[in-house]
Amino acid sequence: MQVRFYSVQPMEAPGKSKYKVLVVGGGAGGCATAAKFAEGSSGLGNDVAVVEPSDVHYYQPIWTLVGAGLKDFQSSGRPMGEVLPESCDWIKDKAVAFDPKNNCVELKSGAKVHYDYLVLALGLQLDYDKVKGLQEALEQDPSVCSNYHAQWVQKTSPALNNFKGGNAIFTFPATPIKCAGAPQKIMYLADEVFRKNKVRDSAQVIYNTALPVIFGVKKYADALHTVVADRGITVNYRQHLTAVDHTTKTATFAMLDEDNKPVEYKYDLLHVSPPMSAPDVLKTSGDLTNEAGFVDLNQGTLQHNKYENVFGLGDCTSTPNAKTAAAVAAQSNILYNNLNRHYSGKELSPEYDGYTSCPLITSSKTCILAEFDYQLQPLETFPWNQAKERRTSYWMKASVIPYLYWAKMLKGTWDGPGKLRKLLHFGMGK
């Protein structure tokens, strides 16, 4: 993507030795948090800094539609300097170590930056290398693709349109992942492409998921069971991709309920949702994280369980919600309020209930709009059954939500649909 002028000029070293609020990560959570503190009512300006090495900020939820050929890849990204708040400092560097006892972050350049408050928003790490042969297959086999990566998502639409029949396999790994609905969304869109190209009758569409269910919330799972049945899609549960051999076009899966017994499939198209994990820098951060390397937070307040001046949000944290941009939107305002409460000596409020949303695209015109909480109970915004495939839900996913993301959420002014939900339900419920 061609980078235009920067609204925020990157700096290779910290502009100051210490910041009131230091945000590590320039994804959805980092941008939204920085905007709230730098340009919101706090008005901290350049006493807020964001550590982020990337030049481009991607709106990754749209990559499902990019992979299906329904959106242009270029529309998914903007220069990092244009999405960060103008008044904050952008430290274009990578965090390599944390020292929360001394309120310090070490950067790859060797510089150290101190803080009064630290906000961790590092996202998830894509572990393509954890699947034997996958990297080589992505590089050399045009029929292997992945919507989770800026490079590999651009292979998906050509792979779908060049598919002539045989096994089209879609995978879900045995790890936490971004947007748990994404691995099957592209499958439904692929099914539509195959029908349009008149190759569906010679295709076997297969969904191999490491999960024991098609979706974690029963209401939406029941609806998805109808979708896969109506479209003749085979679902195999508790199967985790372990190896790909592109020379023989073979994918090997571990059968998780049978002592990881291997089972092989021949593929003619393979869409991989890779294993994911907490970023390596967090895995080596000692008591800043839990055993799996995720930032150890109170799930209601988003404050660290040991270090009172450390907060976090998004995919890198230990909160047991689904990892989506919708969750980040809801978390950003709660984090902002609670950090300000702590600064003012007030008691923190355990407001976050695990709200998240996963628009489950089922065709180029329809979508199931899943919304739920920590208990995997529906927490729907609209006063109708959102488990039903609807054109309006697709329109919201494809047009409304991207607008809210770029124009509102990254500016710190969109905190999710909580207030709208209350209004539409006449103040009743959550």
> pLDDT of 46-77, one tens digit each?
899 999 999 999 999 999 999 999 999 999 99
Surface-to-core class of residue 236, CB atoms within 10 Å of its CB (0-12 exposed, 13-18 middle, 19+ buried): middle
Rounded Cα distance between 209 and 241, Å, is 9
Residue 230 bridge partners (DSSP): none
Tens of pLDDT, residues 79-112: 999 999 999 999 999 999 999 999 999 999 999 9
- Residue 430 in any domain: the answer is no
- Residue 394 in any domain: the answer is no
Residue 385, number of CB atoms within 10 A of its CB: 13
Residue 175 bridge partners (DSSP): none
- Residue 361 in any domain: the answer is no
Among 276, 299, 327, which residue terminates a domain? 276
Tens of pLDDT, residues 202-239: 999 999 999 999 999 999 999 999 999 999 999 999 99
Query: Are both 291 and 193 inside the same structural domain?
Result: no
Widest pairwise Cα distance in the chain:
66
Query: Are both 258 and 193 inside the same structural domain?
Result: yes
Rounded Cα distance between 330 and 44, Å, is 22
- pTM for the predicted model, two decimal places: 0.94
Query: Are both 114 and 162 inside the same structural domain?
Result: no
Query: Are both 268 and 335 inside the same structural domain?
Result: no
Total domains present in the chain: 2
The range of the structural domain enclosing residue 70 comes to: 10-124+278-350
The DSSP line for 388-417 is S-BHHHHHIIIIIHHHIIIIIGGGT----S
- Residue 409 in any domain: the answer is no
- Asked whether 276 and 126 are in contact (CB, 8 A), the reply is yes
The predicted model gives 238-249 an average pLDDT of: 98
Q: Write the CB contacts of 86 (distance below 8 Å, at least 6 apart in sequence).
A: 7, 8, 39
Query: Are both 69 and 210 inside the same structural domain?
Result: no
Query: Are both 162 and 296 inside the same structural domain?
Result: no
Query: Are both 282 and 271 inside the same structural domain?
Result: no
Query: Are both 113 and 199 inside the same structural domain?
Result: no
- Asked whether 280 and 130 are in contact (CB, 8 A), the reply is no
Rounded Cα distance between 21 and 115, Å, is 6
The predicted model gives 10-21 an average pLDDT of: 84
Query: Are both 43 and 116 inside the same structural domain?
Result: yes
Tens of pLDDT, residues 173-203: 999 999 999 999 999 999 999 999 999 999 9
Query: Are both 50 and 151 inside the same structural domain?
Result: no
Q: Residue 178 corresponds to which amino acid?
A: K
Strands 261-266, 112-120: pairing kind: unpaired
Look up the CATH number of the domain holding residue 323.
3.50.50.60
Query: Are both 137 and 113 inside the same structural domain?
Result: no
Query: Are both 147 and 215 inside the same structural domain?
Result: yes
Rounded Cα distance between 417 and 420, Å, is 5
Active site residues: 179, 358
- Asked whether 269 and 167 are in contact (CB, 8 A), the reply is yes
- Residue 176 in any domain: the answer is yes
What pLDDT is stored for residue 422 in this prediction?
Answer: 86
What letter would DSSP give residue 107? Answer: E
- Residue 241 in any domain: the answer is yes
- Residue 272 in any domain: the answer is yes
- Asked whether 39 and 85 are in contact (CB, 8 A), the reply is yes
- Residue 387 in any domain: the answer is no
186 closest CA partner among 364, 372, 315, 322: 364
